[in-house]
Structure 1
Amino acid sequence: MKNKDWFTEWFNTKYYHILYKDRNDNDAQLFMKNITEYLRLPKTAHILDLPCGKGRHAVYLNSLGYQVTGADLSENSIQEAKKFENEKLQFYVSDMRAPIEQSYDAIFNLFTSFGYFDDDHEDLLILKNIKNALYKNGVFVFDFLNATFVKKHLVTEEVKIIDGIQFDINRAIKNGFIYKNISFFADEKQHEFTEKVKYLDVKKMIDYLENVGFSIEHIFGDYELTDFNESTSNRLIIVAK
């Protein structure tokens, strides 16, 4: 199945980082500040950011005083993140499906970094790994798109020009997945990548979490931590223990 691990290839290309280079750091920082305050996480807490990308959430969490570990499958991203390492901030390459060796006070799965796999067992395996790596009263923060909202407001076609590259983007929802097809011409070559994440609405996600033994503490609908509303919230943020 050539398409199975689409993210391994796409996340490791320079074009992925070009397309998403304007991601809003203010949003990321606001969310990290709000969620750590809401959780009353003491500064002694050790947080795992999984997967961490190039480390923008992890770096900011570390600046708030936390010990943070970031793990991601993309070697390119980890190489970039390692530039920020210090005594209380470390990064390493890891697949979410592999058991997590250490224990943590909190594990964050941020910015729709879940639901990549065709087989539900792999998604459940990731959640089991996370649960097993939490200390007894540890907390899991899950930040995903609100599938119901996405369906209602789906932009099927979009063109973005970044660094002189025209990215043609097509989106569709089919066979239980949200697809985003990205095609562009760069370095004298036509490229095409497809991102896909499982269509996981709030009910399905709660089922997943309860299936592996998590209990749901709270559900928020945005980075301001407003209560979740299935028809109007743009995020699905679940705090579980």
Structure 2
Amino acid sequence: MSKEWFQSWFNSPYYHILYKQRDKEEAELFIDNLCASLKPSTDAKMLDIACGKGRHSIYLNKKGFDVTGIDLSFNSIKYAKQFENEKLHFFVHDMRKLLFINYFDFALNLFTSFGYFNTEKEHISALSAFAKSLKKDGKLVLDYMNSQKIINNLVEREVKHVDGIDFHITRSVINGKIVKTIDFEAENNSFAFKEEVRDFKLEDFKKLFAQSGLEIDLIFGDYHLNDFDVNKSDRLIFVCKKI
């Protein structure tokens, strides 16, 4: 059985090279603003879903919270594990499958770490697993791209130069997915990867949440937690409560 695109790409060292400019300060600002808004108790248990190398998990743990990070990428989790302590743990895990039941106060799925799957059933399975992992009054924070703005301003072709590598990137919208192809040469080899993310919009999420045991509590449009504007906002950020 062939690997799904995210299993290959997210496990590649070149993924981390291309996206290494991701802003640590921006990530920490978002976490600070979320904590100020949601006011988690000092003993809150948090689940970071698709945690990557753990930048959000590590920062939440520094703020004193008990954090568990899960990700499908073995290499990312292997890296993150060096930061483990009594209140910080990392596991290789597929978000579509249940790992914990009624355990966490907050579950976080950040930086468009959703929308990767081929079927609606898989997306509902993932959201249901998020919901089931939460305690009765637990909350899910899901941070997604604002697909409408991306489609309205689609950059079809560009070249990014990072660490001596020219990443040739194309973008298109195909069958309800924003598709990005990434072609480059490195170490005398040619590589080609692809990202396919569903162009879920607000109405799509309302339907998905309703089928997954979740109810929208708050909606924000950026990491400063401003209101969502479909044409202007960079992000579509939900705070959902478990039904």
TM-score normalised by the chain length of structure 2: 0.97
Q: How far is the alpha carbon of 1:86 from its aligned partner?
A: 1.1
Alignment of 1:115-154 (within 5 A): 115-154=115-154
Aligned length in residues: 240
- Residue equivalent to 2:70: 71
1:89 equivalent to 2:98? Answer: no
- Residue equivalent to 2:223: 223
What letter corresponds to residue 38 of structure 2 in structure 1? Answer: L
CA distance in 2, matches of 1:61, 1:145: 22
Alignment of 1:6-25 (within 5 A): 6-25=5-24
- Residue equivalent to 1:155: 155
Q: How far is the alpha carbon of 1:22 from its aligned partner?
A: 1.1
The 3-state SS of whatever aligns with 2:75 is: helix
The 3-state SS of whatever aligns with 2:227 is: coil
Q: How far is the alpha carbon of 1:201 from its aligned partner?
A: 0.6
Q: How far is the alpha carbon of 1:43 from its aligned partner?
A: 1.3
Q: How far is the alpha carbon of 1:207 from its aligned partner?
A: 1.2
Q: Identity percentage over the alignment? A: 46
What letter corresponds to residue 192 of structure 2 in structure 1? Answer: E
Instruction: Check whether the contact 1:106–1:134 (CA below 8 A) recurs between aligned residues.
Output: yes
- Residue equivalent to 1:202: 202
> How far does the alpha carbon of each residue in 1:38-58 deviate from its partner, in whole angstroms, 9 at most, with x for none?
111011100000010000000
The 3-state SS of whatever aligns with 2:136 is: strand
CA distance in 2, matches of 1:112, 1:58: 16
Q: How far is the alpha carbon of 1:213 from its aligned partner?
A: 2.2
- Residue equivalent to 1:47: 46
Q: How far is the alpha carbon of 1:27 from its aligned partner?
A: 0.9
Runs of at least 5 residues in structure 2 that lack an aligned partner in the other structure: none
Q: CA RMSD in A?
A: 1.0
Q: How far is the alpha carbon of 1:206 from its aligned partner?
A: 1.4
CA distance in 1, matches of 2:68, 2:100: 12
Runs of at least 5 residues in structure 1 that lack an aligned partner in the other structure: none
Which range is displaced more, 58-67 or 100-109?
A: 100-109
CA distance in 2, matches of 1:48, 1:77: 16
The 3-state SS of whatever aligns with 1:140 is: strand
CA distance in 1, matches of 2:95, 2:213: 18
Q: How far is the alpha carbon of 1:101 from its aligned partner?
A: 2.5
The 3-state SS of whatever aligns with 1:215 is: strand
> How far does the alpha carbon of each residue in 1:85-117 deviate from its partner, in whole angstroms, 9 at most, with x for none?
111111110011111225110000000000111
Instruction: Check whether the contact 1:53–1:77 (CA below 8 A) recurs between aligned residues.
Output: yes
- Residue equivalent to 1:27: 26
Instruction: Check whether the contact 1:100–1:130 (CA below 8 A) recurs between aligned residues.
Output: no
What letter corresponds to residue 32 of structure 1 in structure 2? Answer: I
What letter corresponds to residue 40 of structure 1 in structure 2? Answer: K
Q: How far is the alpha carbon of 1:130 from its aligned partner?
A: 0.7
What letter corresponds to residue 230 of structure 1 in structure 2? Answer: V
TM-score normalised by the chain length of structure 1: 0.97
Which runs of 4 or more aligned residues in structure 1 lie more than 3 Å from their structure 2 counterparts after TM superposition?
none
What letter corresponds to residue 44 of structure 1 in structure 2? Answer: D
CA distance in 2, matches of 1:181, 1:187: 20
CA distance in 2, matches of 1:44, 1:26: 24
